Chain A
Amino acid sequence: MDFSFTSEQDMLRDTVAKLVSQQYDFDTRRKVAKSDAGWRPEMWAQFAELGLLGASFTEAEGGFGSGPIEAMIISEEFGKGLVIEPYLQTVVIGGNFFRHGGTDAQKEEHIAGIIGGETRIAFAYSEPKSRFDLNDVSTTAKKDGAGYVLNGHKAVVLGAPFATHLIVTARTSGGQRDAKGVSVFLVAKDAKGVTTRDYPTVDGLRASEVHFENVAVGADALIGAADNGLPLVEKVIDNAIAALCAEAVGCFKVLNEATISYSKQRKQFGQPIGNFQVLQHRMVDMFMAAEQATSMTYMLTLKLDEADKARKMAASAAKVQVGKAGKLVSQDAVQIHGGMGMTDELNVGHFFKRVTMIESQFGNTDWHLRRYTELSAG
């Protein structure tokens, strides 16, 4: 048992931390989020150049690291800068689809594209009425010769405006909520019949509504097993939850530091408000919540390769803990900052919004508590 990082992993963290502090300051981030493009392609190119996009792939896969631990490190540091570029979508989700479900040819082609920065992925899975259920898929893929034809509407596809490719869940058989019959496809975003409507999200990211109208793909577009894609999707999403939890931990650390530092400067009743015990204890609770969330993120990251049930329970446990911690840390950070915490000018509100969105991403606290409870019963 070992909770220390290798020197390469420490170096990776330093590299990302330096990049974020030097080129991802709050004002720049705010400008980028409001710009027409909504992201910086040149920043993505720099990620590729620095090796960040390949850090969570093994050398055999063409990368420079080992896997989830590198993704965790990068995600946490990106969390501290509220990084907009689609790391989670492309590297964690896209990368893990190919890692765990791709054919050799798919791995060779697309992992190389991801590491090089040319391939950017968005995961089109949720639908207007599916909420958080990965099995709830009404988008269809009908067999057509060797290939398939896709039809349907995917909702709030994060990172789609920046993507070159979409990974899409579609039903190849069964009823709308059946576990069987879900398949996963890789679709070029510029494929005929794909239309997107792009928009900003409340936390400064970009997403799209994506419509598929008779989109024809070849047999090689299928990722993993036809009709039995759900276990793969769940595994990839659990990997994404680990990275998302790490991102949240990064956010918590910034919020806590900002709050403690503000409470030492802000004076009321003739003294720094940090002298008041009622606020001190709240800040201790925030600190403990962040530490417990860090522990859970480690736990999940180290359990991603366990058998399905253990992995799912670990992911749900982490998501519950991080979701609750997020409410506590973000709400109290705003509260202790007082009126200033309400403003758009201060970074606190921006972290508040990102943390709020993280709580519901890939299933909210209640959803994961239910999944955990169901799994622990049987």
Chain B
Amino acid sequence: MDIQFTPEEVAFREAVRTWLETEYPAELRGKASRDDYSKEDFLVWQRALHKRGWGAPAWPKQHGGTGWTATQRYIFQEECARAETLPIPPFGMSMLAPVLMAFASEEQKAHYLPRIINGTDFWCQGYSEPGAGSDLASLKTKAERVGDHYIINGQKTWTTLGHFADWIFVLCRTDPTAKKPQEGISFILVDMKTPGVEVRPIITMDGGHEVNETWFTDVKVPVANLVGKENEGWTYAKYLLAHERTGIAGVARSKKGIERLREIASVELDQGQPIIRNPEFAKKVSELEIDLIALEYTELRTLARESKGKGPGPESSILKIKGTEIQQRITELTLEAVGVYGAPYFRGFPKDGDNQFPIGPEYAHLAAPTYANMRKTSIYGGSNEIQHNIIAKMVLGL
């Protein structure tokens, strides 16, 4: 047992840091602390990574990934968080890709995986429906087999970045006569340009546009777009969700978030003193940071298990719950720290970006919208209550 990095790992960190300092696209600098990224922003970042050979940090070499060890991936994440890079959207990279690697045909792998790495295809996820949230298996979107095609009808919702996406992976019901809700579901890849696919924005309470409704009206999709076997999509769906947990803890980004919070709290005044010296506030920051240390070591234990080929252990189930709670608390304390300038709201307001009459510190502008936006984290990816159910059943045997 030790927490020392090897000389190779130290050198790797140095290489990543230097590369980010010199090669992180100039037009993206400073953008990670803003709320609106364009599709082009994500593509610019993905192309830069691809050019360096780091297009798929978590994939094995055989599929064009870096083949990095768990520790290298951890270091890479830390350095990206430190440099405040854009996140890599997870839908193609860490949700779909593992499913393709495990269950898709060779043709499908050869076609789709490189296009994820080089940024050709931007993916989104077609899982949730208006009537199928936590109870995902109650989904109703239908795919009817007609000759060499499926005809898809139904509605998906909460489609994150669907308005950017070129492709969507969709869970559809292919056997309406199946006895159990989990049976008769298929995993189908759909080109968003196919006639009958319509994306309608959902504006969230922070005023942002991240999620969408995606409607399917007689959408004709070649049978070749089926992944794995017909009616066995639930197995792949669960596989995807299990893989989604990797990295979901967001430890590196949260560390950076607490660092920012401390910076803000050391200039925001409370009774004439930096609010970080207010014992009640400081105590909350300490407790948050301590919880993050615990999460970090739980994640490191999980990574160590995985790198020994043992697969995610029971600890990994904790990462989603604790990770999202911490992300939420950071935004909550940031809003608390900024005080009265948490109130002004500039989205869509013409004064936004007016340097002549700055209204409050810049870091305060997004504190409230970000706090509001981050409430999503304990709801998506299987709500935290569903995560409790999963641990109760799978780990505690209840």
Taking Cβ atoms with an 8 Å cutoff, the residues of A that contact B are: 1-5, 9, 69, 260, 263-264, 274-275, 277, 280-281, 283-285, 287-288, 291-296, 298-299, 301-303, 317, 320-321, 369-370, 372-373, 376-377
Contact = CB atoms under 8 A, between A and B. Distances in A.
B275 interface: no
A276 B212 CA distance: 36
Interface of B: 1-5, 9, 71, 276-277, 279, 282-283, 285-287, 289-291, 293-298, 300-301, 304-305, 308, 314-315, 318, 321-322, 385, 388-389, 391-392, 395-398
A377 B298 contact: no
A94 B170 CA distance: 63
Nearest to A263: B398
The listed residue with most B CB atoms (<10 A of its CB), out of A1, A4, A277, A283, is A1
B318 A4 contact: no
B396 A321 contact: no
Contacts of B300: 1, 3, 295
B296 to A, nearest CB: 8
B283 A1 contact: no
Nearest to B301: A3
30 contacts: A1-B3, A1-B9, A1-B300, A1-B304, A2-B1, A3-B300, A260-B396, A260-B398, A274-B398, A275-B398, A281-B385, A284-B392, A284-B396, A285-B388, A287-B314, A288-B318, A288-B321, A291-B314, A291-B315, A291-B318, A292-B291, A292-B318, A299-B3, A299-B293, A302-B3, A317-B290, A370-B283, A373-B282, A376-B285, A377-B282
A320 B285 CA distance: 13
Contact of B298 (A69, A291, A370, A373): A291
Contacts of B71: 1
Given A296-B297, A298-B301, A320-B290, A281 B392 contact: yes
The A contact surface, by secondary structure, is helix
A288 B249 CA distance: 14
Contacts, number: 120
Contacts of A293: 294
B181 to A, nearest CB: 19
A296 B304 contact: no
Contact of B4 (A1, A260, A296): A1
A372 B289 CA distance: 10
A376 to B, nearest CB: 6
Given A3-B300, A260-B396, A287-B391, A295 B289 contact: no
Contacts of A291: 298, 314-315, 318
B298 to A, nearest CB: 4
A1 B5 contact: yes
B2 A320 contact: no
A277 B389 CA distance: 8
A274 B392 CA distance: 9
B290 A287 contact: no
B385 A4 contact: no
B2 A1 contact: yes
Nearest to B321: A288
Contacts of A296: 293-294, 297
A287 B283 contact: no
Given A260-B397, A292-B291, A317-B294, 14 more contacts: A1-B2, A1-B3, A1-B9, A1-B304, A274-B398, A275-B398, A280-B388, A291-B315, A292-B298, A292-B322, A299-B3, A299-B297, A369-B283, A373-B286
A373 B283 contact: yes
Contacts of A263: 398
Nearest to A264: B398
A65 B295 CA distance: 29
A307 to B, nearest CB: 15
Contacts of A281: 385, 388, 392
A137 B312 CA distance: 49
A63 B278 CA distance: 48
Contacts of A5: 1
